[in-house]
Amino acid sequence: MSHRDADRVFSNSLPRVYNSHLVPLIFEPYARDLSNRLAARAPNRVLEIAAGTGVVTRALASALPERVPIVATDLNQPMLDHAAALGTSRPVEWRQADAMRLPFADGEFDAVVCQFGAMFFPDKATAFAETRRVLRSGGVFMFSVWDRIGANEFADTVTEAVATLFPKDPPCFLARTPHGYHDTQKIEKDLAAGGFTSLPSIATVPARSRADSCRVPAIGYCQGTPLRDEIEARDASRLDEATERAAEAIAGRFGRSAVDGKIQAHVVTIDR
């Protein structure tokens, strides 16, 4: 399996650790931001792609009137199963779907939302073309992507720490994929290649990432993302060691308890 394919797989225990450790650490602040931005547009029918364990879905369900249908999709059924088990404040439709081949009619939605999923699309222009296809004229596409890894302190620290265990072949999932799509000019070009003719609005949004201990981000990144698969592919017996190495690196930089680090993302809004 290629890096491109492996980076898109969240299965086994990843959804549980992802939701318990990473969602409160880095995803919740941007979920609130994105849902508030969309609510201001007063959409009538919403599609979410790459919904993961549903952090944005839950925010949307609370922010939007109950009359507004929400369809939440993800490539990985285990992520959707976890999201559905957690539930939402009102009913939503959960559906497995690949952003590259959306199973919806042309113009079926007036808003499409995607939080931190576009980085995983193997062909961004194709995925954006599919998004444009299912949007009605005048609809809106809102999505967020992480800024460069250096602007996201815990992810950067974990990546450097784990690399010291495998210096000849360092695992680079975090830099390669979650933080690998931060060039705003490239984003604009991919949207244009996907058929969008208007110019996007791109806001760079900093936030703070907080946890009760240095182990929370270490476990979240090392055991709740495909970084785990990269570590285990090199030496399955060293996952705990890699996690501890990451925790110690975070402790050395931010303290052992009540850690607080910078996170930063781009939020993109473009009209159909």
Q: Is the pLDDT of residue 5 over 70?
A: no
Q: Residue 88 — φ and ψ, nearest 5°?
A: -135, 165
Q: Is the pLDDT of residue 171 over 70?
A: yes
Q: Is the pLDDT of residue 183 over 50?
A: yes
Q: What's residue 10's pLDDT?
A: 53
Q: Is the pLDDT of residue 9 over 70?
A: no
Q: Is the pLDDT of residue 2 over 50?
A: no
Query: Residue 133 is encoded by which pair of tokens?
Result: 């296809």
Q: Is the pLDDT of residue 4 over 80?
A: no
Q: What's residue 13's pLDDT?
A: 67
Q: What is the mean pLDDT of residues 37-44?
A: 97
Q: Is the pLDDT of residue 17 over 60?
A: yes
Q: Residue 267 — φ and ψ, nearest 5°?
A: -110, 120
Percentage above 90 pLDDT, the chain:
93
Which ranges of 18-87 would DSSP assign to H, the alpha helix? 28-39, 55-63, 77-86
Query: What is the tens place of the pLDDT at every residue in 52-102?
Result: 999 999 999 999 999 999 999 999 999 999 999 999 999 999 999 999 999
Question: Which segments of the chain are extended strands (E)?
Answer: 46-48, 70-74, 93-96, 109-115, 135-146, 201-213, 257-271
Q: What's residue 15's pLDDT?
A: 81
Q: Is the pLDDT of residue 158 over 80?
A: yes
244 closest CA partner among 219, 213, 208: 219
Q: What is the mean pLDDT of residues 120-137?
A: 97
Domains defined along the chain, listed by start: 5-271 (3.40.50.150)
Amino acid at 1: M
Q: Is the pLDDT of residue 7 over 60?
A: no
Rounded distance, CA 180 to CA 178, Å? Answer: 6
For residue 11, what pLDDT band results from cuts at 50, 70 and 90? very low
Report the chain's mean pLDDT, rounded to a whole number.
Answer: 94
Q: What is the mean pLDDT of residues 121-149?
A: 98
* Sign, CA torsion 217/219/222/223: negative
CA atoms within 13 A on the CB side of 170: 12
